[in-house]
């Protein structure tokens, strides 16, 4: 079985949070998708921990 080169195809980029990076690639003609992302709670570790405690994936029992 022939190995497929890692960078053998067209370059496609997903940019997460770095708008300048996405803009620069787009100006160079590279297909890019920009994803708006920021750290939870503005990057504050204490607030992020409190926020994480509020997340609960358990199903709610029917009343």
Q: CA angle 32-35-40, nearest 5°?
A: 155
pTM: 0.53
* Gap between the Cα atoms of 20 and 13, Å rounded: 13
Q: Is residue 49 part of a domain?
A: yes
CB atoms within 10 A of CB 23: 13
pLDDT for 47 beyond 80: yes
Handedness of CA 39, 45, 47, 50 (dihedral sign): positive
pLDDT tens, residue by residue, 15-40: 998 899 999 999 999 999 999 888 88
Q: Is residue 25 part of a domain?
A: yes
Q: Is residue 23 part of a domain?
A: yes
Residues 34-58, mean pLDDT to the nearest whole number: 84
Domain with 46, as residue range(s), is 13-53
């Amino acid at each position: 079985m022939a190995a497929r080169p890692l960078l053998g195809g067209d370059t496609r980029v997903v940019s997460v949070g770095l708008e300048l990076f996405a803009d620069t690639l787009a100006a160079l003609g590279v297909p890019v998708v920009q994803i708006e992302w920021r750290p939870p709670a503005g990057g504050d570790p204490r607030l992020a921990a409190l926020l994480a405690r509020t997340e609960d994936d358990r199903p709610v029992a029917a009343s």
